[in-house]
Structure 1
Amino acid sequence: MGVIKDHPELALFLCLAAGYLLGKVRVGPIALGGIAGTLIVALLLGAWTGAEVADDVKTVFFAVFIFSLGYMAGPQFFANLNRKGLRFGVLCLIELVCVVSIAYGLAKAFDLDVGTASGILAGAATESAVVGTATESIGKLTGPTAEQIAHYQGNVATAYTVCYLFGLITIVLYSSQIMPMMMRIDLQEASRELWRRMRGGRETLESDELPGLPGMVGRTYLVTAGDGMTVGELGSRDGGLVTVEAVKRGSRTLTVEPDLRLSLSDLVLVVGRRAAVIDAGRRIGPETPGIPGLETPLATKQVAVTEKATAGLTIDEVRARHPEFGDSGVYVTEVVRNEQHMPASGETVLQRGDVLTLVGARSALDRLVKRIGAVVKNDAADFIYIGFGIVAGSLLGQVVVRAGDVPLSLGTGGGCLISGLVFGWFRSLKQTFGAFPVQAATTLKDMGLAVFIACTGLTSGPQAWPLLKQYGALLPFAGVAMVLIPATLSLVVGLKLLKIEKPLLIGAIAGQQCSTPAITAISQVARSTVPLLGYTITYTLSNFLLPLTGPVLVGILGH
C-alpha cells in the first residue's frame, strides 16, 4: 500500500488497467465501459491507499481530451446547423433543459451540495465530460473554503459513479427494448423497410451478411456483336455505370480513348456496376477468362468532401454533376462520417467533412479529387495546429461573463471544446493542414478522459462512502429519472410534432444521451445501421452542449 501511495504513476496506470478490465465485464447488452470501470477502481484504490495525483496532471489531460472530442465532432456539428439538423436538435434541447432542471430541483428539494448535484447530472446524462467541466467550475467558486471545494469536487465523482451505472442500464434497456414495444414496431423490420424506401425499393442486407454477387466487377469480353462500336458509345449507353479500362488487339494493348473503335476479336476489359457490365457484355460479345497483361490496376483514395456545392447532395446527384464518375469509371465504395460507416448507396446525402473511399483509374481519381474535396492527409499529427488549438481554448476558458450577479465561465474544458470544434471544422474545409488522424485523436481523447477520471477518483475515494450512506437511495432514483423523463418527452415530441421516422428517432434519442452502448444495443436489435443516421446528428450536438451544462449548474447553485 505504501508503494502505491508514494508512486502516483503506479496508482494512475493501475487504475487504467484494472478499470478497463472491469469495464469489459458484460451482463447481457450492458457493459460499464472503461471510463466507469476506471472511476470505480480509482475510488476504491484512493479510499484504501490514500494515493493522489497532482491536480496539474488532471487539468492537462482533461484539456487534451476535450479538445480532441471537439476536433472530431467539429465538421459534423457545423454541418448539422441546418433545417434537418435543427429538427433533430430539438431533442438535444429537451435533454439539456430536463437534466439541468431535474438536477437543480433535486438540489433544492434534498439540500444537495453543488458537487453532488453536478455528479448526478453527469452520471444520469451518461456524459463523462460534465465531470471535468463541473469539477473545474467548482474550483473557481469564491465563496467556499479550499477544504469545502475539495469536498464538493470529490462528491462529483462519487455521485457520477452511482448515477452513471443506473443511467447507463436505463438508457440501453429503454431505447433498445422498451421503446420499440411502446411504438408497436419490430425494430428490425421497421429499419429494413425504411432502408428499402430510402433505396427506392431495393433490398438490403442484414448486418452479418455480405453480397453473394458484388456490386462492382470487372469482366473481359471478345468483340463480336460490338464490331465497329466506339468506346464512348459503349459507356454512354449504360448511363456512365461502366467504363472500358483496356483493349487488346492481337499482341498490342491499345490506348483507350472515347473515339477508339472496337474491331472483331478485340479483347475488352469492362469495369463497373455488375448489372451494367453484364448488359454491356451482350452488346460486345461472349465473356472470356482473364487475359494476362490486360488487367488494369485500380487506385484507391480517401477523399474528404470540402466543396460547398457537393455538401447536401446525394451520391447519385454528385455522380450526375461530375461526369468523371461515368466517363472514367470512378466509384464510391465507402462513406465515413464522424467515425461511423454510412451506407454508400446512391441515396446517401453527403456532408462537408465526410470521407469517401473512391476506386478507379489513378488519373481519373486525381482529376475528380480536385473537384469535390481533398485527399485526406492523416499520416502524422500536426502538433503545431493541435497545440495552438489547445492554447486558444485555454485562453477562451478564462473569460468570465456575468449574468446578473452570477459569474459564468467556460473554463478550460468549455473553452477547449469550442476551440476543438472550430479547429476541427476549419481543418475539414481543406484537409491539407492540421492533420489529426482518427486513431490518434481517439487515443488521446480516451486516454485524456481516463487519466482525468482516475485522478479524480483517487482524490475522491476517502469521502465516497459517507456520501453513499447519506444519499444512497436518491442517487439510483436520480439516475433512472433523468434518463426516462427526457427520453420519453423526446419520444412523444419526435413522433407527434417532428414526425421523425421511428428507427431514426430511437437512434436520435440514444444520441442525445451520448450513449455509445445504447446505439450498439439498438443496432444489434435492428440488425441494421439505419438508426445510426439519427444518432450521428444528436450525438454530435449533445457532445458539444452537454459539457456546458456543468458550468451552468455550478454557476447557479454556487451563487
Structure 2
Amino acid sequence: MHWITSVLQQYPELAIFLTLALGFAIGPLKIKTFSLGTVTAVLLVGVVIGQLKIDISPTVKSVFFLMFLFAVGYSVGPQFFRGLKKDGLPQMGFAVLMLISCLVFPWLCAKFMGYNMGQAAGLLAGSQTISAVIGVAGDTISGLPLTAAEKTDYTNVIPVCYAVTYLFGTAGSAWLLASVAPAMLGGIEKVKQACRELEAKMGGGNEADQPGMISADAVIVFRAYKVTNDWFSDGKTVKELEAYLASKGYRLFVERLRQQNNLVEAAPDVRIRKNDLVVLSGRRENIMNEDQWIGPEVQDHELLNFPAEVLSVLISKKEISGIKVSELRAKPFMHGIFIRSIKRADIAVPVMGDTVIDRGDTIELIGLKKEVDKAAVQIGYADRPTEKTDMMFVGIGIVLGGLLGVLTIHVKGVPISLSTSGGALIAGLVFGWLRSQHPTFGRIPAPALWMMNNVGLNMFIAVVGITAGPGFVDGFKQVGVSLFLVGAVATALPLITGVLLGKYIFKFHPALILGCTAGARTTTAALGAIQDAVESKTPALGYTVTYAVGNTLLIIWGVVIVLLMR
C-alpha cells in the first residue's frame, strides 16, 4: 500500500486515470432504477483516492473544463439562436423565467441556512444537476479579493455540497416530472390522451404522411414481388402504381423491375404488366402485406442487388429550415426517400408530418444512393462519417472565448467577468451556430464531441475530487445531513414553478410543459421518465430550445450565485 501511495503521489496522472476507470465502472451500476451516474461516481472515487494527498496542477482541470464547455456550447448553439426567432421565443421566455427560479430558490435556501458562497454554489450545482457550476464558481471565487485560505475552503466545499444534493437532484427530478407534474396537469390519463391527440394532429398514425416515432424496429425495407393481380392486365405505369398505393395511405415506391428477364430501372412512364417482377421500398409494416395484392414475394438476388444508402444530412438550406416534415416529403427530390430520424441538439425528436425542421437539425435519409445524394444537396450538407475534427476551429474558438472571458469590469470594487470558462461556453454557442450556417468547416464528429463532453467533464471532476479529498470529511461535517433536505427543496420548487408557468402563464400543451420543464433543467433522465410515463415521444418537442437556454444560463448562474452570496 505504501508503494502504491508513493507511485500515485509521484505520478498524479495515474491517479486521475484510476479515478476515471473506477468512476465509469461504478456510475452505471443500478440498484433497482437508481444509479449514481458517471459524474457523481467519478467525484466520489476521486475523493477516496484524494485521501492519499496527491498534488495535481490546477492547469490540468482547467484545460479539460474549457474543452468540455466549448463542446456544450457547440452542441446547443443552433438551438440557442433558433430560440431567438419568433416561433421559439415563447419557449425561450419560459426557460428564462424558470431558470431564474433555479437560481433564486437555491440562493434563498442558502441565505436562510447561513451557507457561505462555496456551499451555496455546491447547493446550486447539485440540486440543479449542473456539474459545470463546480468549475465556474471555483473560477469566480479565485478571482475575488479573498485570502488564499478562504479561497481554498470555499472551493473545496463546493464538490462536497454537490455530492450531497445531486442524488435527489437527479432521481427526484425524474420522479417529480414523471409522477407529480402530470397530476398537476389533470392526471396521467388526461396527459396521455392529450399526447395522443397531439400525435394525431401532427400526423401520428397516418401513413400517408409517414408519421410516428421512427425507431430501430421501424426500418425501411426493399422487397421484390411477382405481379399476378389482374389490375395489371392492361399494364400500369410506375407513376400509376405509386399513386394507387398512396391513395391507400402507403408511401411506397417502385425502385426496379425485371421484365422478360431484363433488369429495368424504374421511371414514371415504365409500364408494369402481369408476370413482371417489381421491387418496392417503404416501411416494413406497410410493405409486408403487398403479397396479398400485387402478388407473392420472390427472392431475386440480382434484382435486389443495387446500392441503397443511409445518410445523415445537416440542415443548412434556408428554404428547408422552418418547413414541416410532410412538406419536405412532398418535394420532388424526396421521391423514393424516407426520413428515418431527426436529431436536434443531439436529442431525437419525433418524426411526424407536422414536425418542423430547423436549421442545424440532423436528419437521417434512406433510399437509393443516387437519389439520397441528390436530395442531400437540396437539403443541406451530407454529414458522412469521418474521424477528423477541425482542431483549428476548436482551438481558435476556445482561445477567443477565453480572451472574452478574462475581460473584467469592476462594480463597487468587485471584479466581475465571465472567466475563461464562461467565455469558452459563449464561444461554443457562437461557433456551433456558425457550423449550422456554414457546414463546410468546423466539423466535430459525434465520437470526438462525446470525448470532449464526457472525458472533458469527468477529467475535470476527477481532479476536483482528488484535490478536495483531504478536506471532504471535514466539509461534510460542516454542511451536515440537513443539506440533503435543503437540496430536495431547492430541486423541487423550480420544477413546480416550471409546470405552473407552462400551464397558467404560457398555456402550453401538457406534453410541451413537461418537455420544456425537463429541458430548462437539462435533465435528460427526466425526459426519458416522462416519455415512458405518458407513452409518447411528443415531450421531446419542447425539450431542445429550453435545453440550450438551460445549459447556458445554469452555468452562468455559477458566477452569479457567488457574487450574490458575497
Q: 2:300 aligns with which of 285, 291, 294?
A: 291
SS at match of 1:293: helix
- Cα deviation digits, residues 284-308 of structure 1 (max 9, x gap): x644524343224422221111112
The answer to whether the 8 Å contact 1:378/1:436 transfers is no
How far the C-alpha of 1:235 sits from its partner, in A, is: 3.8
Alpha-carbon spacing, 1:515–1:242, altered in 2? closer, same or farther (3 Å) = closer
State whether structure 2 residue 375 is matched by structure 1 residue 368. Answer: yes
Q: How does 1:153-552 map to 2 (within 5 A)?
A: 153-183=155-185, 184-186=187-189, 191-199=195-203, 202=206, 210=217, 218-222=223-227, 225-226=231-232, 227-238=234-245, 241-262=251-272, 265-272=275-282, 286-287=295-296, 289-295=298-304, 296-320=306-330, 322-326=331-335, 329-379=336-386, 380-403=388-411, 405-552=413-560
CA distance in 1, matches of 2:128, 2:29: 22
Comparing 168-177 with 189-198, greater Cα deviation is found at: 189-198
CA-to-aligned-CA distance 1:19-46 (integer Å, 9 cap, x gap): 2333223234322201111112222332
Distance 1:159 1:270, change over 3 A: closer
Inter-partner Cα distance in structure 2 for 1:451 and 1:281: 57
**d(CA) in 2 for partners of 1:332, 1:527:** 22
- Bigger mean CA offset, 414-423 vs 79-88: 79-88
Q: What TM-score, normalized to structure 2? A: 0.88
CA pair 304-460 structure 1, distance change in 2 beyond 3 A: same
Q: How far apart in 1 are the matches of 2:263 and 2:465?
A: 69
Q: Cα deviations across residues 67-100 of structure 1 (Å, max 9, x unaligned)? A: 1111111122222333443322234223332233
After alignment, is 20-29 or 166-175 more displaced? 20-29
User: Any idea what SS the aligned residue of 2:302 has?
Assistant: coil
Which residue among 44, 65, 90 is the counterpart of 1:40?
44
2-structure distance, mates of 1:160, 1:347? 41
Contact 2:311 2:365 in 1 (8 A): yes
Q: CA contact under 8 A between 1:378 and 1:435: conserved in structure 2?
A: no
SS at match of 1:241: coil
Q: Secondary structure at the match of 2:303?
A: coil
Structure 2 distance, partners of 1:208, 1:75, is 24
2: distance between equivalents of 1:362 and 1:205?
24
Equivalent of residue 16 in structure 2, options 6, 12, 19: 12
**Unpaired stretches in structure 1, ≥5 consecutive residues:** none
User: CA 1:61 to 1:252, structure 2 compared with 1: closer, same or farther past 3 Å?
Assistant: same
Q: Does 1:61 align with 2:64?
A: yes
d(CA) in 2 for partners of 1:208, 1:357? 12
Matched residues in 2 for 1:230 and 1:404: separation? 80
1:435 Cα offset (Å): 1.6
How many residues are treated as equivalent by the alignment? 550
* SS class of match (1:112): coil
What one-letter code is carried by the residue in structure 2 that aligns with 1:59?
S
For 1:266-295, what per-residue CA distance to the aligned partner results, in whole angstroms no more than 9, with x for missing partners? 433333467987999999x64452434322
Query: Residues of 2 paired with 1:106 and 1:63: CA distance?
Result: 30
Q: Check 1:182–1:544 CA distance in 2 against 1; reply closer, same or farther (3 A cut).
A: same
The one-letter code sitting in structure 2 at the alignment partner of 1:335 is I
- Structure 1 residue 527: deviation in Å? 4.1
Matched-pair contact (CA < 8 Å) for 1:31–1:517: no
Residue 294 of structure 1 aligns to a residue whose secondary structure is helix
Amino acid at match of 1:267: L
Residues 229 and 195 (structure 1 numbering): CA distance in 2 closer, same or farther, change over 3 Å?
closer
Aligned to 1:76: 79
Alpha-carbon separation, structure 1, partners of 2:98 and 2:167 = 18
Residues 223 and 297 of structure 2 are in contact (CA less than 8 Å); yes or no, is this contact kept in structure 1? Answer: no
What is the distance in 1 between the residues matched to 2:374 and 2:357?
Answer: 19
* TM superposition shift of 1:54: 0.6
Code of the residue aligned with 2:70 in structure 1: it is F
Aligned residue in 2 for 1:125:
128
* Separation in 2, partners of 1:6, 1:21: 25
The answer to whether the Cα contact below 8 Å between 1:96 and 1:549 also exists between their aligned partners in 2 is: no
CA distance, structure 1, for counterparts of residue 274 and residue 204 of structure 2 = 39
* Unaligned stretches of 5+ residues in structure 2: none
- In the aligned structure 1, how far is the partner of 2:379 from the partner of 2:37? 39
CA 1:342–1:396 in structure 2 vs 1: closer, same or farther (change >3 Å)?
A: same
What amino acid does structure 1 have at the position aligned with 2:24?
Y
Change (3 A) 1:91 1:170: farther
Q: CA deviation at 1:399?
A: 1.5
What's the offset of the Cα at 1:129? 0.9
The structural deviation recorded for 1:448 is: 1.0
Q: Which moved more, 1:233-242 or 1:296-305?
A: 233-242
Deviation at 1:405, TM superposition (A): 4.6
Superposed displacement of residue 202, structure 1: 4.8
Question: 3-state DSSP class of the match of 1:53?
Answer: coil
Deviates more, 1:88-97 or 1:103-112: 103-112
Which region of structure 1 is more displaced relative to structure 2, 58-67 or 157-166? 157-166
The separation in 1 between residues aligned to 2:56 and 2:33, in whole angstroms, is 34
Distance in 1, matches of 2:265 and 2:511, equals 50
CA RMSD in angstroms comes to 3.0
Question: In 1, distance between residues paired with 2:273 and 2:203?
Answer: 39
Deviations 1:420-440 (A, max 9, x none): 111112112243322211122
Offset at 1:109?
Answer: 3.8
Distance 1:319 1:457 in 2: 51
State the distance in 2 between where 1:470 and 1:215 align: 59
